[in-house]
Structure formats: C-alpha cells, structure tokens
Structure 1
Amino acid sequence: MGSPAVSVVLPFKDSERFLEPALGSLVSQTLTDFEVIMVDNGSSDSSRKIALGFCENDSRFKLYQSGGGLVRVLNSGLDHAQGRWVARFDSDDLCHPDRLLLQLEAAEENGEKTVVSCRVRSFPDSAVSSGYRQYESWINDLESSEDIQHNLFVESPVPHPSAFYGREAVIEAGGYSDCGLPEDYELWLRLWSRGFRFIRVPKTLLAWRERPDRFSRISSAYSLTSFYRTKAKYLGLVPCLQGKRVFVAGAGQTARRLGKHIQREGFVIEAFLSPVPVREGQLLRGCPVVDISRWKNTQKLPIVVATRIPGAAQAVQGYLESRGLVNWKNFVLCS
C-alpha cells in the first residue's frame, strides 16, 4: 500500500470535550487519500481512549505518544507522517468536508514551497471578542501571495490549524523550532525567508474554536514580547530593509517596544515619525521624534510602520502612499 497524499498532524492533550467531533469532521472529508497522525502529549483524561476508538474503526487513524512540549510533539508528528503533504489541525477545531481536497488542489498547483491556508470562522460566537473577530476578518481578506507577504510582519496571517504544506520541504527548513518564540509564526517567517509563498483558498474550511485556555492564550511563547522578537529576527531580510537604517512611523508603545528589539538586531533608527504633532522634539529609544507631516526623507531611507492602534496603520500607509511611497519597496507594515 502506497503512502497517502495527505497526513493530518493533530497533537492533543486532555481534549476529551472536543476530540470526537474534531476527528469526526475528518471522517467526513470528501478526499479519502489521507492519514491522521494523532500525537498524545501526555493526556490524563479520556482523550487517548477516544483516539484509540477511531484507530480501531478506521486504519487511516494512527496514534502516537510524545512529550516535552508542543514543538517536540509537532516535530514528532512530522516524523511519523508518510504523506507528501501535511495538513495541520487542532483537536478542538472542525474541518469543512472539502478542506483537504481544496487545499490539496491548491498545493499541487503551486508546489511544495507554498503554504496553503484557508478562510476561517471562529466559534462559538459567545467566546469571540470583537477584536478577535476583526483579526479573523483581516486574515480572511488576505488571499493573494503578495497581500499575505506584505502583511507578514503585522500579525500571523496563517492560523496554524489551517495550514497545509509540503512535508519534506518544511522538514528540510528545520521543522518547528523550540526557541521560546511562537512556533508557528516563527516557522512562517523562516519559510518566507527561504523563498516559500503563502496563499489562501477563498473558502471557509476551518471552524476555529476560541477558548480562554487555548495554548496561545497561556504560553509565554505567545506574549507580545515574543512576537516583537520574532519580527525583529526576520525584519532585516525584507529587501528594502537590508541596510538596517530606517525611520519608524509611530511614537507610541508599539513603536517603542518594536524599536527596542530591532535595535538589538542591529537596526539604526534615524527618527520616530509621530502622527501626533505634540510629540515632536521628544526622544524615544535615544532617537528624535519628528512630526510625520513635516518629515522630509532626504536620505531616501525605508520606513517601518509600527502601530497597533485601530485605523492608525491604515492612516499612515495612506499618507505614505500619497507621497508616492510603495508598500514593501519603501515601507513595511509592522505592529
């Protein structure tokens, strides 16, 4: 019997409340040429029993044991997988019946150095904040490879359980890294730095469960500081920023914190460009603050746009574009 086309890598720990419907959504896939690599990360509830039940009823379901944290469990899943393609999936989410089929078609059309995502819908509605719903809308609106690339340093544009990628290509790139950073976002930026493209199937194929005890809510690897460190680590690989001498558009907390981390990565900040005129003349991270409306870029340096205030980044982007500057050529959006 040959290898399956797709390996679904599904880590779990104490997921008895959600595991059965999650696995059931895989049984309902219109694509049948797949395996499910379930990796138990030390469950103490009935999750393992539920997983074993699926193994007994369907030979495509395979159960393994691991430990030592999520990164080790994910890499264990990649090691056990036999498919050319890997679909990530979490034990509390739900797949649309066509998810594997549509993502496989997109992946085969675009090649192994492509990460294929899809639109997502967070649920249940009662647990989803307005801010998180805005993040979901932002994700879903980014479809083309160019749009996703131009927003890579804003937030993670690929929800991890929606990702679909070439197994060998990701393993060759080092797999998941246990470096104290958000393991999925760090992987996306590392893959981008190695020439991978990102695309999105324009259909909602994943129901993404929101709950307060989700790993990304409680792990220090997902703190704002960890995200700033991750962005700073790779920001210098953007072609227009490789000289590492920049202006930072923003003078608030985001600009200050991101500024600290890019300085640690060797960036020289010429000045912070403030949308708020009253801050002109102040010092931030040892650099002058300049009113952006009075700023003259005589040195033709690139700009890192650094703000998390709703609407502020779009306003700054609009202002820069009105001056003839181009996203990813003259400035990079960050937050």
Structure 2
Amino acid sequence: MTISVIMPVYNTKESDLRTAIESILNQTYRDFEFLIINDASTNNAEDVILSYKDERIRYLKNEKNLKIIGTSNRLIDEAKYEYLARLDSDDWCTPDRLEKQVAYLDEHPDVGVLGSYYKIMPDDRWFPIPTEPDDTTLFVRYCGNCISNSAVMMRKSIIDKYHISYNTSALHAEDLKFWSDMSEHCKFANYPEILSFYRISPDGVSSQNRAYQLKMVLTILMDNIIKDFANDKDYMYSILIKFIKGEPVTDEEFTYTQQFLIGIVNILQKHMSYPINTLVKSYVLSRLAYFVREPKPENQPK
C-alpha cells in the first residue's frame, strides 16, 4: 500500500460529506487507507462517517476544535503511507483520480506535489493552470497558488524530511506558504485533466480577511523572489518589512521595487512555456504592483 487519502471534516453538510466520502470509496485504484479526522464537529458528521463500514476508513476525532491548520497537520502526522491524497469534505473527485496520479508520480520521481485541473462548483467552470513541472513550480513560487487542496497528491517523505507543516503565521494563506516551503525541495506539476470538483463555500474568506489574505500572499511571494533573485537582499527586505507594517515607502524605494519586479517578470517570461505574457497583465504584475502602490510613497500626492 502506498496511498493515504486524508480528509478534514468540520460540520460538513451530510449530502456533501457523503458525496466526498463515496467519491473516494469508489476509486478504480482500490488499495489505500482513508484517514478522516473529525475536527470536533457539532452536527451529525460523526454519524455519517461511522455509517460507512469500509475497512479502508480510519476515523479519528479531535478532542477539541483545532481548526483547519491544526487538523491538516495532524492528518499528515497520522498518515501511514508515502503518497498523501487530500480531499476536503465538501468536494469530490473523479473515480480515476488516484489511479492517474499514482501512475504520474511513479513515473516522475522529481515531482513531489501533483495537482490537477479542477472544476469550480456550482458554476461548473474551470481555469487553465500550468501543468509541466518547470512551469508549475515557478508559478507556485513566484506567482501564486495553482494547486487545489482537493486535487493534490504529495510525497510524505519530503514533508517529514524537511519538517514542513501548515503555519498559523500565514493564516488565510497557509496553503501557499506550505507549497512555497515544499517548492524549495521538489518540483510541482498538475495532471492535465479535470480530476476534482471544488465547491465554493458561502462561508468563505470575508472581505476583511481577503485584504489580509492578499497581503500574506504577496509577502510570501516577495520573500521567495527576494531570496532567489535580489542582489541587495537587505535593501529589498527592508522595503518588504515596511509593506508588512503598512509604512510608507520613499520614491527611491518605490522606483527600485518596480524595476526589480519588472525584471522578475522578464525572467519568468523567458523560463515558462505557460503563457506568462497574458498572465502577467491580468494577475502577476497587477498583484505585485500592489506591493509598491500601497501604501503610497510618503511624498506622493494623495
């Protein structure tokens, strides 16, 4: 056996939880453990889980609510096998997901994290994301998250060797921080087929938290960019600290950072076969430009 399917559960609606569980139990690849951790749910989630008598299910329950970061870390710690396939409890996957992802990882030992195309529900829409290892790894490290939790299969040995975990200091961007830490030790890829379905939650990130999330995402990406590319790391980190604290930057710092980011965009354009030109205009440059636009330079007109 090589796969641990891991699923965190907290107060998931019964119909959604059953859809998620059954999408795993009905996989064409049959040999896996299905580790489910109930994060002290207050609804009937436990009864739903225990209604399944499949011997592959290993059920654990947190004594108190650890929330998603604590539960995700416990899932990784408790998992017994090398390939960790995650599925959130309100999402589901295609019957051949595990079979296809195991075959890919077996054939690509340098890839440590494998996602896939996924559909966003109930809108029934999807977005193209990079698939090749070089493109996907660069994207995760410098552009943002292109790995869906409910589509990912990753190597536990890398997580254990480098003591990687979900970090509360990156709240609302803990997934990207986790992938960022992984990207220092392995390549990423996305399987070029839709293998999972991501259900949008009405209880998602609030507008207030979304602003904080964006700031955390930009901080993580800028930290990677500075570590990997900046000649004057101390100077760039001093600007990053100002951004984190919400302090104004000078005209010199503003211009230096803009030129630095444009240079990074040019590097990405040369090294990615994924269509970075369009992406830069619509996402990367506009998002990273936020880093130098807000707050405005201290002597710039309001």
Question: Which position in structure 1 is the counterpart of 2:68?
Answer: 70
Give the counterpart letter for 1:114 in structure 2.
Answer: G
Equivalent pair of 1:103/1:201 in contact (CA under 8 Å) = yes
Give the counterpart letter for 2:174 in structure 1.
Answer: E
Higher relative contact order (CA 8 A, sep 6+): 2
TM-score, scaled relative to structure 2: 0.76
Aligned residues: 264
Which of the numbers 216, 224, 232 marks the counterpart of 1:234?
224
Question: Which position in structure 2 is the counterpart of 1:274?
Answer: none
CA deviation map 1:188-239 (0-9, x unaligned): 1111123x1001111100011112214x55894972122122223322232x
Which of the numbers 131, 143, 147 marks the counterpart of 2:135?
147
The answer on 1:207 being equivalent to 2:197 is: yes
Question: Which position in structure 1 is the counterpart of 2:25?
Answer: 27
Structure having the higher helix fraction is 2
The 1:302/1:237 distance shift into structure 2, 3 A limit, reads farther
CA deviation map 1:33-66 (0-9, x unaligned): 1111101111000111111112xx2010111112
**1:1-335 pair list within 5 angstroms:** 4-17=1-14, 18-54=16-52, 57-66=53-62, 67-111=65-109, 114-125=112-123, 136-137=126-127, 140-152=128-140, 153-181=142-170, 182-194=173-185, 196-214=186-204, 216=205, 220=209, 223-238=213-228, 240-241=229-230, 243-244=232-233, 260-261=239-240, 285-288=249-252, 303-305=260-262, 326=270, 333=284, 335=287
CA distance in 2, matches of 1:202, 1:285: 42
CA distance in 2, matches of 1:189, 1:100: 24
CA distance in 1, matches of 2:97, 2:132: 18
CA distance in 1, matches of 2:44, 2:139: 41
CA distance in 2, matches of 1:161, 1:180: 23
Give the counterpart letter for 2:121 in structure 1.
Answer: F
Equivalent pair of 1:37/1:81 in contact (CA under 8 Å) = yes
Shift of 1:303: 2.9
Give the counterpart letter for 1:150 in structure 2.
Answer: L
TM-score, scaled relative to structure 1: 0.69
Deviates more, 1:84-93 or 1:109-118: 109-118
Shift of 1:148: 1.4
CA distance in 2, matches of 1:242, 1:8: 42
Contiguous gaps of at least 5 residues in structure 1: 248-257, 266-283, 291-296, 307-315
The 1:225/1:206 distance shift into structure 2, 3 A limit, reads same
The 1:165/1:26 distance shift into structure 2, 3 A limit, reads same
Report % sequence identity: 19
The 1:37/1:174 distance shift into structure 2, 3 A limit, reads same
The 1:327/1:118 distance shift into structure 2, 3 A limit, reads same
Cα RMSD for the two superposed structures: 3.3
The 1:218/1:37 distance shift into structure 2, 3 A limit, reads farther
SS at match of 1:86: strand
CA deviation map 1:277-296 (0-9, x unaligned): xxxxxxx7202466xxxxxx
SS at match of 2:51: helix
Deviates more, 1:218-227 or 1:98-107: 218-227
Shift of 1:179: 3.2
CA deviation map 1:225-268 (0-9, x unaligned): 22122223322232x33543899xxxxxxxxxx99536669xxx
CA distance in 2, matches of 1:259, 1:122: 39
The 1:92/1:326 distance shift into structure 2, 3 A limit, reads same
